[in-house]
Structure 1
Amino acid sequence: MRSCTYGYTGPDAKRLAIVGDSHAAMFLPGLAQHLNENKWNLTKFVGYGCQWALRESGDCDRTVMPEVQKRLLAQRYDLVITTATRAMRSANEYTATWCPVVESGSRVLVVGDNPSVSEETLSCVTRVSIGRDNSGECTTPRPVALAKADPLLAAADRVPGVRVLDMTESFCDADRCPAVIGDVIVYRDTAGHLTATNSQTLSPQLVTAVREALG
C-alpha cells in the first residue's frame, strides 16, 4: 500500500480519507475530478486485499492496516470513505475496527460493494458480433450477482452515525445486472472491478453522498 494525497491544499480544505482494497481504489477516478471544486483533500489508504478490518491473517492485516488505523485515530479526518469486496470479511470485524475511529470524532461513509459479474457475462461483452450491437444481452441475473450478502452494509447498521451509499440500483434492474449501461462497459474483470469510465459515471452519486456525510 502506498499512501498518497490528492486535491485541494488550502487551509480551509476538508480532509478525506479513502480506505480499503482494490474495490475502494476503483472509486478514485470518479472522485479525483471533483476534489478541487469541493475543496477536498483526499488521502488514499488502498491496497490489494487491504479491507478496513483488523485481524491476524494476511500480510496486509498484520503489517499495514494497524498502521493505517493509527493514522486514522491520530489525525482525525473530516470523513473516512470505505468500501471493499463483499467476500472477504465479516460484519463483526468491520464494526470492531470502525467504532474507535467514529468515537475519535471522524465521520464515516460506507459505500456498498457493487454486484458481482459472471465470466459468461464478460465473455459476452468481448465476443465479436456482426451486423448489430448485442451488448444489451450481456447480463448477470440479479440473484446471482447479489448472491453474497454485503457485510459492509450489515456492519454500518451496527455503528451509530455511519452514513451509507448503496448504489445497487444503478447496476441492476429488478431481474438482471447488465455488463453495459448507457454505452459504458461496467466491469473490467470477473473480480468485479469497475472500469474507470463507469467510476466516473457514478461520481455524481458519490460526490452527493460525501457532501451529505460532511454535513
Structure 2
Amino acid sequence: MAREGDLDIFSRCQQDLASGDLKTCHLGQSKNPKRTVALLGDSHAGAMAPLMDRLGKRLGWDVIASTKSSCPATSARRVLNSETNDQRQLACESFNAEVDRQILDDPAISDVFVTSFTSAYDWDNIPGSALANPGPDGFQMTWKRWTDAGKRVHVLRDVPITGDRAIPNCVELAGSHPETCARARSAALPDDLAATAARAMGNPNVSVLDLTPQFCDATTCFGQIGNVIVYRDTSHISVEYAELLTPFVATQLAGLP
C-alpha cells in the first residue's frame, strides 16, 4: 500500500480501467488512528479522496481509499454502451470482489464511504446472479453484507453533472461572467440511483450525505463558486473544491446517530 502525502491522490491512488487488481492508499491519519474507514467507488469517489484525506486528518481517521475508474462498488454489473467487449466489466467485478473481501476481512474498518457516477451506467446481473432490479438491488445487497458485518455505510450523493462541458475551459472563456458555466438544477441533478437505493433501505446503518446545497441554489448549479473552479474537467470535482467540502461532510456526520 502507498502512503500519499501530496495532493495528486486522484491519479496515484485509483486503479485504471483495465486492471482488476486491488489498489489502495492510506489517507488521513494512519498512525494511531481513532477510527479506520474506507472510500470506495468509481472515479467520482476518487475525486473525493482529497476531501477524505482532509477529513481523516481533521478527525484522526485512517482512510483506506480503494477506487477504480468506471467501477461503482456494487454486486450488479455496470454496463457502458461505449464498451466493445466485456474485459472492463470483468475487471470491475474482480476489483469489487477484492474490495468486498477487504471490507469484510478487516474488523478495524468501522465506516464505508461510497459514491459513483450512477447516471452514466446501465445495469445488469452478473452471470449466476438473479437480482430483480440489478441497479438498486446490487447496491443494497453489497451494503447489507457490510452492515451485517457491523459496518456503517455512508453514501455521498453524486455531484451535479455539467452537461459534458469542461468547466475550467468554460470559466476561462467566460472571463468576468462565470455564471455562463452554470446549469439549471433540473438538468444538473438526475436521480442518483445509489442515494435513492440507500434511502429506500430504511437501514439505520446506511446514511446519505447530500452536498447538493454546496453546489446549487434553488434553481442553478454552478461551475465556479467564489474564486474556486468546482470541477477539474467535465464531471470530477477539483482538488480545491473537494477540500472545501470537508466541514460540510463533518457537520452531516456529526448529526448522525
State the TM bucket, normalised to the shorter chain: 0.7 to 0.9
Aligned residue type for 1:174: A
- The residue that corresponds to 2:214 in the other structure is 170
Task: Give the aligned CA root-mean-square deviation in angstroms.
Answer: 2.0
- The residue that corresponds to 1:197 in the other structure is 240
- The residue that corresponds to 2:9 in the other structure is none
Normalising to structure 1: TM-score of the pair? 0.88
Query: 5+ unaligned residues in a row in structure 2: which ranges?
Result: 1-14, 16-22, 79-88, 124-134
Contact 2:104-2:149 within 8 A present in 1 as well: yes
Query: 5+ unaligned residues in a row in structure 1: which ranges?
Result: none
- The residue that corresponds to 1:84 in the other structure is 116
What does 1:79-158 align with in structure 2 at a 5 Å threshold? 79-87=111-119, 88=121, 90-119=135-164, 122=167, 124-127=170-173, 129=175, 133-146=176-189, 148-158=190-200
CA 1:98/1:138 → structure 2, altered by over 3 Å: closer, same or farther? same
- 1:158-211 per-position Cα deviation (integer Å, ceiling 9, x unaligned): 330211111112111121111111111111222x10011110111111223345
Which of these residues, 69, 75, 78, is aligned with residue 106 of structure 2?
75
CA 1:174/1:45 → structure 2, altered by over 3 Å: closer, same or farther? same
Aligned length: 209
Question: Matched residues, percent identical?
Answer: 27
The whole-number CA distance in structure 1 between the counterparts of 2:71 and 2:34 is: 27
What's the secondary structure of 1:78's corresponding residue?
strand
- The residue that corresponds to 1:21 in the other structure is 42
The whole-number CA distance in structure 1 between the counterparts of 2:30 and 2:149 is: 23
The whole-number CA distance in structure 2 between the counterparts of 1:60 and 1:9 is: 29
Task: Identify which of structures 1 and 2 has the higher relative contact order when contacts are C-alpha pairs closer than 8 Å and 6+ apart.
Answer: 1
- Distance apart, 1:154 and its partner CA: 1.2
The whole-number CA distance in structure 2 between the counterparts of 1:91 and 1:106 is: 19
Contact 1:121-1:138 within 8 A present in 2 as well: no
What's the secondary structure of 1:52's corresponding residue?
coil
The whole-number CA distance in structure 1 between the counterparts of 2:47 and 2:33 is: 27
- Distance apart, 1:12 and its partner CA: 5.2
- The residue that corresponds to 2:60 in the other structure is 39
The whole-number CA distance in structure 2 between the counterparts of 1:34 and 1:12 is: 12
